[in-house]
Every structure is written in C-alpha cells, then in structure tokens.
Amino acid sequence: MEIKRSSADFEIIDSGSIITFDSTSDISLAVNCGADFNFVVKFIFTSTGSSEHKITPSVNGNVISFECSDCNNAIGIGTIEPIELASYDEKKIYVNFWVYDLGSGSLKKIDYTVYYG
C-alpha cells in the first residue's frame, strides 16, 4: 500500500516534527533531488531578549538558513504561507514551518512540511 500526500496541487515530499538535541542546537534538513542537485535547509535559533520574534532567511551556497530570533512561544511561531526554496525539474520546492519553545533555555521543536509542484 502506498499513501501519497498533497495539499492544493502540491505533493508533500516530507513532513515531520524535530526536537533539538539540546537548547543550543540547530536543525538541518538535507534535501537530495538527485545526483545533480541538493541543498540544505538550516534552522538557527537565537535570542536577543526582545519580545518581538523574527525569522530571517539567508542563502550561502547550497545552504538556505532561517534564523529564528526570539521565537520563544509555546503556542508556536512560524510561516503563514509557503516559502519558495528552489526550482527543480521545472517545479518548485516550498517549505512551511512552525517553531515551538517552552521558555528560556528549553529545547526547540519544529513542525515542517516540504512541498513540490
């Protein structure tokens, strides 16, 4: 038996929850589209002590990073629409994610979905 997941007209190629190893760990997703194309999505958690959260994307080579600053909310903070990561085989790859944090010094949890279409 095989289950194919989708939302709208986009195939869900990965979805899950990840809890950091410790309170200072980042989270990485290695996306392998084939022998000729791969990239890494990295979630970096920082704290400035601000009450306002911020998610800042950046690209360095084949690494797409999201700095999640002051995302310290047990209810969750995250994207409100998919973020385009890349194009492959004439289709686009997107990600949605939410970050959860139970308080200062706690582990982080991410729920994420990667779409292709």
Q: Taking the domains of the chain in order of start, what are their residue ranges? A: 6-116
Q: Is the pLDDT of residue 117 over 90?
A: yes
Say if residues 8 and 109 touch (Cβ distance below 8 Å): no
| Rounded-to-integer distance, Cα 39 and Cα 26, Å | 16
Q: Is the pLDDT of residue 58 over 90?
A: yes
Torsion sign over Cα 56, 78, 90, 14: positive
pLDDT digits (tens, 9 = 90+) for 1-33: 889 999 999 999 999 999 999 988 999 999 998
Q: Is the pLDDT of residue 103 over 80?
A: no
User: How sure is the predictor about 34, in pLDDT bands with cuts at 50, 70 and 90?
Assistant: confident
What per-residue confidence (pLDDT) applies to 48? 83
Say if residues 58 and 36 touch (Cβ distance below 8 Å): no
**37 Cβ neighbours under 8 A, 6+ residues apart:** 86, 88
Tell me the one-letter amino acid at 64. Answer: I
Q: Residue 20: which of 89, 86, 64, 68 has the closest Cα?
A: 68
pTM of the model: 0.91
Q: Is the pLDDT of residue 104 over 90?
A: no
Say if residues 15 and 112 touch (Cβ distance below 8 Å): yes
Say if residues 42 and 55 touch (Cβ distance below 8 Å): no
